A and B are shown apart, each in its own frame.
Chain A
Amino acid sequence: MSIINRLRMSAHLDEAALVSLWTDATLAAKAAVHPHLERCPACRHRFAELGSLLVTMRVDAVSEADEHFSAERLAAQNAQIFRRLEAAERPARVIAFPTFTQPLTSRSSNASRWVAAGLAAGLIVGVGVGQLIDLRHSLTPNARIDARLTKTAAPVTTASAAPLPISSGRDEVFLSELDASISRAPAELRALDAFTPRAGDQSR
């Protein structure tokens, strides 16, 4: 063995060397072996101190964790894990929202749909028929005018028995002249007249 090696072996191990020794021993799960350690009680003592510090750290850390995780807590954790696994494997449940007192798809809803359709159809037919009737009336203006004339003539005959004021007599004359002029008017104007609303129509 060379002098340098002997000197090196006799020199005390520094902090890094001790930690390195301890690291190697821990990772290999073996006891630390170094020739200097066997011969030097001071270094052995320092190495033992380092080891005891680290062991205290481990014991503290493990006992602290174990204090928090008692057997009951682990049992509860276990149960929770299996509840979650079971829930994850169960098929998804469809939750009805919003909840109605009667289901949306029932027989009554079909019936009400038919009733609504019938009412709508009736309304359409009614409007259509009404339009047809109006159209027919508009196509026969003479009949309409005749009907109006008889309507206006009737009160004159009934009113003739009673004494009329002077102004109503004048009106009567004016109206009969107007009717006479209408009956003499050309067919195009008569059709236009049939479309024109009357005061009597408005009041009805």
Chain B
Amino acid sequence: MTGAQAAGLHGREADSAAASAVKAMQADGRHAEARERYSELVGRHQRRASRIAFHYLRDAAEADEAVQDAFVKAYQHLNSFREELPFEVWFTRILINGCLDRIKARTRREKWVAPMPDGPTGERDFGERVAGGGPSPEEQLLSRERRETLARALARLPERQRSVFMLSHYEGCTSREVSALTGLNESTVRVHLFRAIRKLRALLAEGTVSGMTVEKQRVNH
């Protein structure tokens, strides 16, 4: 057993204990104490949750709201949490469902409302432009282009393939965990991951080639 796995196991035990304690306190009407104990769980999963929400939604503000909603919902429905399932899995399921609902709502909204255009260089935030001391502007540009290409490629994956890829690859979940999170069986998870990687490779190669073609055309002109 690796150190990370052991830490994960201890974390899960701690999560389970904390969730049970919060549940008991809620049942006794000791709400202030329950909230205080719940903060332990929030602190442990907040960063990971924000990351997952951001990968799904590609918008920091919306991801922030989705994470808040998921934690509030999890607290309010903690009595339906079963101890045999890790808290992390149960909570991530709530979060992913919330993110998928938001994506659906956004798609519906975008049908009727024209999106706000980004700035001339594509930045969304002034802070991003003036941040100094990091990588050079050229590196930043390259990195942003790479991320955008990847995000576009990911967005073209079917929903299940995208979920499986993000959970297993970005979050390092095992097939069993992804199966518990998505409700798919383990062999299906494997198939989805396999297809996702093949499709991503194809899309990225296509994107790189087309990007290079455009660049060449620019140079020739």
Contacts and interface: CB of A to CB of B under 8 A. Distances in A.
Interface in B80-105: none
B68 A61 contact: no
B60 interface: yes
B158 interface: no
B31 A89 contact: yes
Interface string A12-31: 00011001101110111100
Contacts of A58: 169-170
Interface string A21-43: 01110111100000000000000
A22 B168 CA distance: 12
Contact of B42 (A24, A54, A81): A81
Nearest to A66: B51
A86 B42 CA distance: 15
Contact of A54 (B31, B39, B64, B197): B197
A57 B75 contact: no
B55 interface: yes
Interface in A114-128: none
Contacts of A69: 47, 50-51, 54, 60, 63-64
Interface stretch (A70-78, A96-104, A173-181): A70-78
Contact of B190 (A23, A29, A62): A23
A82 B40 CA distance: 12
A60 interface: yes
A88 B190 contact: no
A28 B67 CA distance: 28
Nearest to A29: B174
B72 interface: yes
A73 B175 contact: no
Contact of B150 (A60, A78, A82, A89): A60
Contact of A78 (B46, B54, B186, B194): B46
Q: Interface centre among A23, A53, A58, A77, by most B CB within 10 Å?
A: A23
A68 B39 CA distance: 22
A74 B72 contact: no
Interface of A: 15-16, 19-20, 22-24, 26-29, 50, 53-54, 57-58, 60-62, 64-66, 68-69, 73-74, 77-78, 80-82, 84-86, 88-89
Given A58-B170, A62-B51, A82-B42, 13 more contacts: A19-B197, A23-B190, A26-B193, A27-B174, A29-B172, A53-B204, A62-B170, A69-B47, A69-B63, A74-B46, A77-B68, A81-B42, A85-B35
